[in-house]
């Protein structure tokens, strides 16, 4: 039995969950087809998903097609939940990208397809909703070719579009048109096939082409396209056969060393953590001690493996499979199990660009609110819970308003906490404006720590994150001290000169000094003469902040790319609005009745645009948007400090560290924060 871990991806409402339900029915896993509209599907199982009719969390189900066990992961399509899609990408062997035959290729479809192609994930395309009024086939196929990829192979034809009787007929052997189109697409990507094609077109057998189609699909070079309807079931059998024939099986040696990735974390009924993991290699058995994340270990207490429907208790989970693991108490999303997988797709989509303060309606709920948000952050790390100690407020990062509503409803439904939000603001970043260095030598006043460090901060490329380099000789500093410097430096960069995360920079260790472990004659360790990792943890933020202040930083805000379709008579007021919003807009297409505008706008102004659009376009305007990187904030004060940033407190904190006040260093702060390192004023 082969295993295939398959993701279903699409823009919102394309029909992913309905198609999942259909596939489960076709495979005999369920006797009755559930409906998103009635809240009765297998994968939209959360109460909130059923109420709202949208998918919020990715969900795994499994079914069997002949000799293949398919673990299917249904993902959310709303851009506010893109983080759920990102986490799933690292565990897929293949994907089905769903496109609505009515709405066609959307901005989100393009974002997803680009990512699938970049990661070389073999992908089939399914054009859904052919039964709905307004469904198109040739136009959608042309849009796919133009906007997603030219390397497509339509696998059949749709008929009676826009009616309940809409159907899909797969092309068969003997269909000359299909064979010729397949040969064209495939020969363009395979020299041997091209040579054979040029020599004698007729000699290329249908079998050979079909075989080559599977090979190129598995290499993510070509994307077969199917049509159908998740509601009537049209085309679903052909898609099922395509999944089996054209997508690759999971690879991996069950006897090799354990290697896997955790892509989802859930809490069980008793509050216990459950990790969803895909194994790439090896076998994990119940009661095994398992290494995960960065140097953590725990005993696996129970395992469930996805098999014919849901997850069933098993003694082990092996390479290729997806398992639910109990017992890994501190596990986090994104943790690796055992040996880290050779490749990790890393960050594919933009981080959240909004943040908001969460306020409990009843002040007495403050503690409970923090606990509840911490649990939500386990399941969605990008929420990035932060505590502002100065203002005694809790902040979360968000993608958008729908996610905000979902957080609010989850707090009310699952935790019994009524909470509100302050105004949503954008999250900026800081990048070094130049280079800056600082050095503190060991034993030289006023350095109070038994550690010597020199650090230089240089600008890095856009999107490069934080890179850590050494200009000292390897071995000049014990590894544990070096690790302490790197960890503390990364933490300290969480808050730059203006209070934003510092990124796209290179931190280089230029000097180091330490005093080796000293003991008295009777063998006791003498701290007053020996450097410890704590000395390095305390000194690093001081040196780094001095270097950063010398380099100077500049604040950048997120921008969005947009595409706006509107009636032609709305063009003038729209251009005036866009200019007021500091947007750069270009008229792409001006017809008699309609116009298309494209451009970029600061993310902070998008909400205003969304609010004004219906008024200016009589409700006919359609706005699509996607993250477009960071640009320097504009206006008189070009470096905008974060709202809760108080440089005086940061200075006070650094002074505390410098004076070596016990318990006030980053080591303690690290346990308390995910955002600020400031001491609370009343405890100083
Ligand atoms: N007529 C018709 N309606 C469909 C079809 N597939 C889905 N729908 C409807 O489209 C709506 C959205 O379907 P879902 O299956 O929830 O779509 P989704 O892609 O899972 O949505 P999100 O997970 O929220 O992104 C529901 O009202 C479905 O009943 C189809 O093939 N034909
Ligand atoms: Mg869904």
Element (H, E) at 524: none
Kindly state if the Cβ of 402 falls inside 6 Å of ligand 1.
no
pLDDT at 668: 33
Q: 445 in the Ramachandran plot: left (φ > 0), alpha (ψ -120 to 50) or beta?
A: beta
Residue showing tokens 């320097």? 632
What the block records as the tokens of 377 is 């952050």
Q: Alpha-carbon distance 241 to 244, whole Å?
A: 5
Neighbour tally for 291: CB within 10 Å = 15
Q: Alpha-carbon distance 32 to 26, whole Å?
A: 10
Q: 607 has which bridge partners? A: none
pLDDT at 569: 92
What the block records as the tokens of 245 is 């024939």
Kindly state if the Cβ of 12 falls inside 6 Å of ligand 1.
yes
Kindly state if the Cβ of 231 falls inside 6 Å of ligand 1.
yes
pLDDT at 665: 39
Q: What is the pLDDT of residues 292-313, one digit of tens each?
A: 987 889 999 999 999 888 899 9
**70 phi/psi in degrees, rounded to 5:** -105, 120
Please calculate the CA angle 39-46-84 and round it to the nearest 5 degrees. 115
pLDDT at 648: 62
Element (H, E) at 139: helix 138-147
CB 281 within 8 A of CB 330: no
Q: What is the pTM of this model?
A: 0.82
Q: Quick one: which ligand is closest to 21's CA? A: 1
Q: What is the pLDDT of residues 237-257, one digit of tens each?
A: 999 999 999 999 998 899 999
CA 461 to centroid of ligand 2, rounded, Å = 37
What the block records as the tokens of 363 is 């002040």
Contacts of 605 (CB under 8 A, 6+ apart): 581, 582, 583
Element (H, E) at 674: none
- Encode 364-397: b = buried (16+ Cβ within 10 Å), e = exposed: ebeebbeebbebbbbbbbbbbbbbbbbeebbbbb
CB 64 within 8 A of CB 72: no
Neighbour tally for 526: CB within 10 Å = 11
624: three-class secondary structure by DSSP: strand
CA 548 to centroid of ligand 2, rounded, Å = 45
CB 605 within 8 A of CB 560: no
> Looking at ligand 1, which residue's alpha carbon is closest to its atom 27?
37
CB 7 within 8 A of CB 95: yes
> Which positions of the chain have pLDDT values less than 50?
636, 661-684
CB 510 within 8 A of CB 550: no
What the block records as the tokens of 554 is 């500049």
Cis peptide upstream of residue 114 (ω within 30 degrees of 0): no
CA 36 to centroid of ligand 2, rounded, Å = 8
Kindly state if the Cβ of 131 falls inside 6 Å of ligand 1.
yes
Q: Which atom of ligand 1 is nearest to the CA of 229?
A: 31
The full length of the chain comes to 684
Kindly state if the Cβ of 258 falls inside 6 Å of ligand 1.
no
pLDDT at 32: 92
Q: Give the residue from 517, 431, 435 showing the smallest Cα distance to 466.
A: 431
């Amino acid at each position: 039995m082969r295993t295939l871990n398959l993701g279903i991806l699409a823009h919102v409402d394309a029909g992913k969950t309905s198609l999942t339900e259909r596939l489960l029915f076709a495979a005999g896993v369920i006797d009755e087809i559930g409906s998103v509209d009635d809240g009765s599907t297998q994968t939209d199982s959360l109460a909130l998903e059923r109420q709202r009719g949208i998918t919020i969390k990715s969900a795994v189900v499994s079914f069997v097609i002949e000799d293949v066990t398919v673990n299917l992961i249904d993902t959310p399509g709303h851009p506010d939940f893109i983080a759920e899609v990102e986490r799933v990408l690292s565990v897929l062997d293949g994907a089905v990208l769903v496109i609505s035959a009515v709405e066609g290729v959307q901005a989100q479809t393009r974002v997803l397809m680009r990512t699938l192609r970049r990661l070389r994930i073999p992908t089939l395309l399914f054009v859904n909703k052919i039964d709905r009024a307004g469904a198109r086939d040739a136009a959608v196929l042309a849009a796919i070719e133009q906007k997603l990829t030219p390397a497509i192979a339509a696998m059949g034809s749709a008929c009676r579009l826009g009616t309940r009787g809409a159907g899909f007929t797969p092309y068969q052997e003997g269909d000359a048109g299909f064979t010729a189109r397949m040969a064209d697409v495939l020969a363009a990507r395979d020299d041997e096939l091209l040579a054979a094609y040029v020599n004698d077109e007729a000699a290329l057998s249908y079998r050979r082409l079909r075989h080559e189609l599977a090979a190129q699909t598995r290499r993510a070079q070509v994307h077969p396209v199917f049509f159908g309807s998740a509601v009537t079931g049209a085309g679903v059998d052909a898609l099922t056969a395509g999944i089996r024939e054209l997508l690759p099986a999971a690879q991996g040696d069950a006897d090799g060393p354990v290697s896997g990735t955790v892509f989802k974390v859930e809490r069980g009924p008793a509050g216990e953590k459950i990790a969803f993991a895909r194994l790439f290699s090896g076998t994990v058995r119940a009661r095994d001690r398992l290494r995960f994340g960065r140097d953590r270990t725990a005993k696996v207490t129970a395992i469930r493996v996805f098999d014919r429907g849901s997850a069933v208790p098993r003694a082990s989970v092996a390479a290729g499979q997806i398992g639910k693991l109990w017992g890994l108490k501190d596990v986090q999303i994104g943790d690796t199990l055992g040996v880290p997988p050779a490749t990790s797709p890393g960050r594919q989509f933009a981080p959240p660009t909004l943040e908001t303060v969460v306020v409990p309606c009843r002040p007495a709920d403050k503690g409970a609110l923090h606990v509840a948000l911490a649990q939500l952050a386990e399941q969605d790390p990008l929420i990035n819970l932060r505590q502002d100690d100065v203002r005694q407020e809790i902040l979360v990062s968000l993608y958008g308003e729908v996610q905000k509503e979902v957080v609010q409803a989850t707090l009310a439904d699952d935790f019994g906490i009524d909470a509100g939000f302050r105004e949503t603001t954008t999250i900026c970043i800081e990048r070094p404006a130049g280079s800056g260095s600082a050095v503190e030598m060991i034993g030289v006043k006023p350095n109070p720590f038994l550690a010597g460090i020199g650090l230089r901060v240089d600008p890095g490329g856009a999107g490069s994150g934080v890179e850590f380099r050494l200009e000292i000789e390897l071995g000049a500093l014990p590894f544990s001290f070096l690790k302490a410097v790197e960890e503390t430096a990364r933490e300290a960069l969480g808050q730059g000169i203006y209070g934003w995360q510092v990124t796209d920079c290179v931190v280089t260790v230029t000097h180091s000094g330490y005093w080796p472990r000293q003991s008295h004659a009777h063998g006791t360790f003498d701290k007053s003469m020996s450097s410890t990792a704590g000395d390095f943890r305390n000194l690093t933020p001081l040196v780094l902040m001095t270097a950063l202040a010398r380099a100077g930083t500049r604040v950048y805000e997120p921008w969005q790319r947009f595409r706006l379709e509107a009636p032609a008579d709305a063009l003038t007021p729209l251009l005036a609005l866009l200019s007021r919003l500091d947007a750069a807009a270009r008229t792409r297409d001006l017809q008699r009745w309609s116009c298309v505008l494209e451009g970029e706008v600061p993310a902070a102004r998008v909400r205003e645009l969304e609010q004004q659009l219906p008024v200016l376009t009589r409700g006919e305007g359609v706005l699509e948007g996607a993250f477009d990187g960071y640009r320097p904030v504009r206006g008189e004060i070009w470096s905008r400090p974060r709202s809760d940033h108080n440089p005086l407190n940061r200075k006070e904190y650094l002074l505390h560290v410098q004076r070596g006040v016990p318990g006030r260093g980053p080591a303690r702060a690290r346990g308390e924060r995910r955002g600020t390192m400031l001491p609370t004023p009343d405890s100083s």
